[in-house]
Chains A and B, each alone.
Chain A
Amino acid sequence: MRRTNRAVNRILLTIVGLAILGAGAALIAAGTLPGASDTWWAIGSNLTDQARSLAGNAPGPGPVRSWWLAAGIAVLLLAAALSAAWLASQGGGRTPRLAEESDGTHGRTVVDVGLISAAVHEALKGNKDVLSASVSAWESRSGTALRLRMQARKGTSPRELADTAEELVQGIDAWLGHPLPVLVRITSGARSRVSGSRRAR
């Protein structure tokens, strides 16, 4: 969940994959085709010669030698910054406050997730089918959303758990006065992520 931009992830991963694939293809070509190593050398030295003549075009002061070299380093740093931005865009959006209402001059009312969490735990105390429950909130595109996670006892019908959750959510709705988007996750205890299919006795 969270606020990860999934389209960006897919596009950037595709680009990275294509780059790796291209490098692999170049290596295969250099390894198998006769005369490919000569072509490799020719292309490589041609490129570096061009770069060298380009660097000589715009001499810079002192140790910088050429403005083109400085630009090259700037490009590398920019690429590093973009990678860092990609890294930072994963996840995020979790919030400790569920709802907030400003009351003009009288002040603000903030509803904490902890309040709902305590209420949910209290309501599920006697329920033997729910082994554990946790509540969190995150900022989604359409306002704050509530996430309720319930760990099911083995063999419990998910329908019954969903009905329990629906009752809880109705209670929360009545409490808060306006309905929040809610996601209910019903999970099994062992968080195994081994294979695509799930077996149970």
Chain B
Amino acid sequence: MKQDRRIRRMIRRETHSSRSVPSIVAASILLVTFLWLALESVLWLLKEQPLLASPAQLRQWLLDLPANTIPAGMTAAGVGLGILGLLVIGTAVGKGRRPRRALASHRMATVVDDDVIAAAVSSKTRLAAGLAPGQVTTTVGGQSVRVQVRPTSGVPLHLESITTALDAELAAYGLNRPVKRNVRVLNEGAVGQ
């Protein structure tokens, strides 16, 4: 049981983003800003020349901001900041899923990239239908596996055999998030394969 929990935790951490990149960016900006403000304050207390702007200048600039800027500019800047804030909150609160999935496994946590699954499904479909490379395209995303098959002109396609092969393959993976299989056969055939 304890082993299970540990594996689940590893899978969870590997398939979800740690949000370290936005955190690093935000922390760096905050660090520089606070250090700069502290430095300016000290310079102001010692009556030295300010680096960029003294606290008094900063205060005056902030107070005069609505009077000196046209209202439309203020609103536009506010909308920009608002969107940025929503994006930051979104990354913080959202699921933060990465394009990876876990495979069923007893001993260890196994996490596979979605494009590895897509490539494997494509090649399996190709083998099952006897098609050439490039005639099958697979998209793995969210909760679906979409397979797009382009049949060879004049050669009938056994959809049945494709779907059974696909189902067997996906069942063998035992993915932690169930996926819906969706096979689409294009009307246009490939010539001369």
Which A residues are closer than 8 A to B by beta carbons? 1-2, 4, 6, 9-14, 16-32, 36-37, 40-41, 44-45, 48, 63-65, 69, 72-73, 76-77, 79-80, 83-84, 86-87, 90-91, 140, 142, 145, 152, 154-159, 162, 165-166, 169-170, 173, 179, 181-188, 190, 192, 195-201
Question: Could you show 10 A-B contacts with beta carbons less than 8 Å apart?
Answer: A23-B85, A27-B81, A76-B41, A80-B30, A80-B38, A169-B108, A184-B105, A199-B139, A199-B140, A201-B122
Residues of B contacting A26 in the complex (Cβ-Cβ under 8 angstroms): 78
The number of chain B residues with a CB under 8 A from chain A is 90
- The answer to whether A64 touches B45, judged by C-beta atoms less than 8 angstroms apart, is yes
* A11 and B89 alpha carbons, distance in the complex (Å): 9
Instruction: Name the distance in Å between A94's Cβ and chain B's nearest Cβ.
Output: 14
Residues of A contacting B28 in the complex (Cβ-Cβ under 8 angstroms): 83, 87
Instruction: Name the distance in Å between B27's Cβ and chain A's nearest Cβ.
Output: 4
Partner of B34, one of A23, A27, A77: A77
Given contacts A2-B18, A18-B89, A90-B24, contact A79 B136 (CB under 8 A): no
- The answer to whether B78 touches A16, judged by C-beta atoms less than 8 angstroms apart, is no
- The answer to whether B37 touches A76, judged by C-beta atoms less than 8 angstroms apart, is yes
Residues of A contacting B142 in the complex (Cβ-Cβ under 8 angstroms): 196-197
- In the assembled complex, B112 has its CB within 8 A of some CB on chain A: yes
- The answer to whether B92 touches A197, judged by C-beta atoms less than 8 angstroms apart, is no
